[in-house]
Chain A
């Protein structure tokens, strides 16, 4: 068994920032991550990091834009804290040597981004995430923080009280991908999940193959609700063949969208009469798909994003990476031709329910980054707001886990016994006979000694993996995964209809049933990616189900969530967060009110126009 004060699961932006913060509080920290930290998907972020740094801008404006962007589904305490802390965090990065793009006077450059009332997006070319990830990792190396890289975390060691609000987290179980060793990791003070997004629930996504929603599913099965999962952001500019992202920075710098008639449709068809291409992402994604559906798309699939008029100098200075991406992955020269783009799954606004210290309802269990939902992005995340979130909330989770004295949280967490449960009228959850090998649910513990709990969990994980490896034939997880991805892309995309959502839930049920017979063809203990991907697929099933349940229940139009039958925002009914609780494998859906009262002002829901 390995022991540390704080264990951070995941070595992306959120995990690294959390580890540094906990270390600065004096804790003995370890990072356990399935990829080496520099391979994390934070490295793919292109566009930038928002923070109010300059005269004429203020944290209040940043907070206001964020709340408006969220379509009033964010919690004000989360938004205010975020906007207040972001500047210091960005300057901290600068002090750590981050190679930001610069102005003539040597200060950090900022550019305009969608949905922002001030050009407050700091950036490093179109490779902002790469530089941020490496800068943070450098600081981890400098501090000598221990990293267990290529260790896959597959279970949390949590006590088994009936009420999740009373449970404690004592550690995790992970296996060394290279050797197959399965070990318990005891955390004296806290476990921080920073496992990133669940983009692999879809087949057209900007997310990495490793983004399988592991942390969300682990916390969920341990009893933490998933919050606002239906709020999936579809990015309007991804390359059609691969899903590779073309940064919003292109539109920030003045890039233009055209349909097949050569019309600048954002204006021509009145989708966003003020901001045009720079309207918020949900607005632009719907506009593009509407164009395609009305026959003004190219090859019935995509539209054009044109940056040629910006000139070679400006493009190579600020968007050079985009030229490489368009050339390598779509065969298009962005200096000579417009780039084909279409919407693709991009970001999960929802995730593990946490308060503004990153803590879940389970004592000692934290989450930060894209896997978490403090409720900062609500129904729609503004471009450039995820990276500062990793910094602000990663740091706060790290500090709190390491024992820093922080005030009572204003945001509540945990299942509420009295809340009304919504019945969707469609079967959800684990079907038929339960099978521990493929279920991965919580483990019962004979006694309450933390070490014994970690060891018992490790033991049950060994048995589970043994069983999976012993099966001689059955279903290949890859088939289950690809069917799931297809159904989600087909049925739970930008435009959502009741029938299709129900279809998706049926497909997920089918997938769950087939998964009961899953088997791992590779019997090796050495670098068994077959085993790893099989377990990841199980996590995707839970996450996909919560996304779809939330989407079916929320019969209104808010942020990224559009319902054909309900094309209006229903503030009197839906100023509330969707929560899905595990409830022993029978998911329960319920709601909690949104907090609109902030530090200085109460945010009044207004019509969103751009």
Chain B
């Protein structure tokens, strides 16, 4: 059933090749090239526009790339195009070593927080049309750069994990099929805090976090809020949480500058949550730093 022809491995694109397989491939490639050229021409005609991307580049390992620099890419603009789309285009068409994290392209996985035109944003959620060109894309500030737009996230994860980010009730119902009850109102109270996608934008925007490496930071405090305010959680755990967040590097460090709240792609009122936890700490008569 096989129609394979024994072939050498060299350059399938040689024009003088003879096998039917290769001729077919060449024809296909030619057709594809033509189609792409047509499409590109059409796109330019309609939009008559391209976007200029200026992208931060750095690779500690490759000669000539260990000095940070900016590369420019000219990308054909399409309606609805996001910063992530433009980066993907630049990578796939011009330079496959261009490196950035991304996955869901719908603002839920939290991988593609970048510093775009001077502000923390998710690449996939940011429309090119809403930006002034040239579009400048940099890694998140205040985080170590691994390569190009990829930053070290370990510190952020450590802070998230330091607040015991898990539900810990005193007891759960006996019956395996019996639910704990949660008031609708209580769910509403914590709803916004549960939206965090761990993108790290808030932490990167925070001056305090930049100066104090131990500061828990807005995302971790918000995570604590999510559990502290959940009426189902155990009393003892609530006390423990309060102690964690009102530690020297906890809520009292926050100077209500609102930068985290401004950049959060999930519109979580972070500063407000931090303030509320401060009030809780005062109510419980805990120490002031």
Contact = CB atoms under 8 A, between A and B. Distances in A.
A44 B61 contact: no
Contact of B9 (A142, A478, A516, A530): A516
A99 B194 contact: yes
Interface centre among A39, A423, A433 (most CB of B within 10 A): A39
Interface centre among A99, A208, A245, A433 (most CB of B within 10 A): A99
A298 interface: no
Contacts of B187: 99-102
A503 B188 CA distance: 53
A316 B198 CA distance: 23
A541 B101 CA distance: 23
B158 to A, nearest CB: 11
A107 B1 contact: no
A525 B59 CA distance: 10
Contacts of B120: none
B179 A91 contact: yes
B4 A427 contact: yes
Contact of B166 (A108, A141, A328): A141
A330 B176 CA distance: 43
A139 B99 contact: no
B111 interface: yes
A332 to B, nearest CB: 11
A85 to B, nearest CB: 11
Contacts, number: 190
Contacts of B6: 432-433
B285 interface: no
B180 A95 contact: yes
Contacts of A91: 176-179
Contact of A43 (B109, B146, B178, B179): B109
B103 A39 contact: yes
B177 A522 contact: no
B32 to A, nearest CB: 7
Nearest to A179: B146
Nearest to A514: B12
Interface in A107-131: 107-108, 125, 127, 129-131
B183 A242 contact: no
Contacts of A598: none
Contacts of A463: none
Interface string B159-203: 001001111110011001111111110010011001101100000
A510 interface: yes
A435 B7 CA distance: 13
Interface string A474-505: 00101000110000000000000000000000
Interface string A73-112: 0000000000000011001001111011111111110000
Given A105-B181, A526-B59, A476 B96 contact: yes
Contact of A524 (B5, B12, B21, B61): B61
A43 to B, nearest CB: 5
A513 B25 contact: yes
B92 interface: yes
Interface residues of B, number: 76
A41 interface: yes
Contacts of B169: 95, 97
A553 B168 CA distance: 52
A138 B167 contact: yes
Interface string B233-248: 1000000000000000
Interface in B106-128: 106-111, 125, 127
Contact of B62 (A178, A328, A483, A524): A524
A525 B108 CA distance: 28
Contact of B165 (A141, A478, A522): A141
Interface string B241-283: 0000000000000000000000000000000000000000000
A465 interface: no
Interface residues of A, number: 80
Interface in A185-239: 208-210
B92 A478 contact: yes
B79 to A, nearest CB: 8
Contact of A131 (B28, B161, B194): B194
B146 A97 contact: no
A431 interface: yes
A463 to B, nearest CB: 18
Contact of B106 (A44, A95, A135): A44
Contacts of B68: none
B110 A39 contact: yes
A244 B106 contact: yes
17 contacts: A35-B103, A39-B109, A39-B111, A87-B177, A97-B169, A97-B227, A97-B232, A129-B108, A242-B80, A244-B105, A426-B1, A432-B5, A478-B92, A510-B28, A525-B61, A528-B99, A530-B96
Q: Identify the 10 closest CB pairs spanning chains A and B, nearest first.
A: A97-B167, A106-B181, A522-B97, A138-B166, A142-B166, A478-B92, A39-B109, A208-B103, A95-B172, A527-B147
Interface of A: 35-36, 38-41, 43-44, 53, 87-88, 91, 94-97, 99-108, 125, 127, 129-131, 134-135, 138-139, 141-142, 178, 208-210, 241-242, 244-245, 324-325, 328-331, 423-427, 431-433, 435, 476, 478, 482-483, 510, 513-514, 516-517, 520-530
Interface of B: 1-7, 9, 11-12, 21, 24-25, 28, 32, 59-62, 65, 80, 91-92, 95-97, 99-111, 125, 127, 146-148, 150, 153, 157, 161, 164-169, 172-173, 176-184, 187, 190-191, 194-195, 197-198, 227, 230, 232-233
Given A141-B165, A328-B107, 17 more contacts: A35-B103, A39-B104, A41-B103, A41-B104, A97-B227, A99-B230, A100-B187, A102-B184, A102-B187, A106-B181, A331-B80, A432-B5, A517-B12, A520-B96, A522-B97, A526-B60, A529-B99
